[in-house]
């Protein structure tokens, strides 16, 4: 009997002041009180024995080192006896907005008319090519965990990633073998959960299973 199909749970951090108002890349912005409550409520139904994210199925987690993502990870698991194995890594950080850090889109367009992060990247920050390469590198690592589980019976089926809005849009796009600019058509809400897996139990057929589960949709 074939093992259950491997999965990735991709979670955006909870609400911050800048997720409401500005472009946040490298800045370390905390969750709002509402953002913390969002994640605490989700944790009770999302994480635990018999829940969608069951620690016994979780091979490892990749967590952005920015406080808004790291705090989200802790809030998800603080009701359990221990935290799962996890890797805090810059590979899961947000797109670096460089000179445009903290600006509203209309402020950016005033500086650079026609600017589109999906085509132009960010001056003084991360290019489109740089973002694509970084996300692709993490996907390679995730798929190797999945290959070992699926083909060799090593480890367990699920990977968790706690990251950011643009990062998650890019990750989803690249996971299903599209250019990262597909992400402009994806809404990834604060605290929302995406599930990525494979069709027909084949690691050659990556798929998006769910988007914005448990999110407070506007």
Binding-site residue numbers are: 24-25, 68, 94-97, 105
3-state secondary structure of 57: helix
Chain centre to alpha carbon of residue 139: 11
| Residue 13 appears among annotated catalytic residues | yes
Binding residues for substrate: 24-25, 68, 94-97, 105
Eight-state DSSP code of residue 53: B
In sequence order, what E strands does 24-85 have? 58-63
List 78, 79, 86, 94, catalytic entry: 94
DSSP string, 124-173: TS--HHHHHHHHHHHHHHHHHHHHHHHHH--S-SEEEEEE-HHHHHHHHH
**Which member of 13, 146, 150, 166 is catalytic?**
13
Q: Is 41 helix (H, G, I), strand (E, B) or coil?
A: helix
Catalytic annotation present for 164: no
Active site residues: 13, 94
């Amino acid at each position: 009997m074939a093992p259950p199909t491997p999965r990735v749970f991709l979670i955006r951090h909870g609400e911050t002041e800048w997720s409401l108002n500005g472009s946040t890349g490298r800045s370390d912005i905390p969750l709002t009180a509402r953002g913390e409550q969002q994640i605490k409520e989700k944790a009770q139904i999302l994480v635990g024995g018999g829940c969608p994210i069951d620690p016994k199925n979780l091979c490892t987690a990749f967590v952005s080192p920015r406080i808004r993502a790291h705090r989200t990870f802790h809030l998800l698991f603080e009701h359990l006896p221990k935290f799962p194995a996890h890797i805090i890594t810059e590979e899961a950080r947000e797109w670096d907005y460089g000179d445009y850090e903290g600006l509203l889109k209309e402020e950016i367009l005033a500086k650079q008319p026609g600017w589109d992060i999906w085509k132009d990247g960010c001056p003084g920050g991360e290019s489109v090519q740089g973002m694509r390469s970084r996300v692709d590198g993490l996907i390679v690592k995730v798929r190797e965990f999945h290959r070992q589980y699926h083909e060799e019976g090593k480890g367990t089926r699920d990977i968790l990633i706690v990251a950011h809005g643009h990062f998650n849009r890019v990750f989803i796009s690249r996971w299903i073998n599209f250019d990262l600019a597909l992400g402009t058509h994806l809404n990834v809400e604060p605290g929302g959960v995406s599930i990525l897996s494979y069709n027909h139990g084949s690691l050659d057929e990556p798929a998006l299973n769910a988007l914005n589960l448990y999110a407070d949709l506007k």
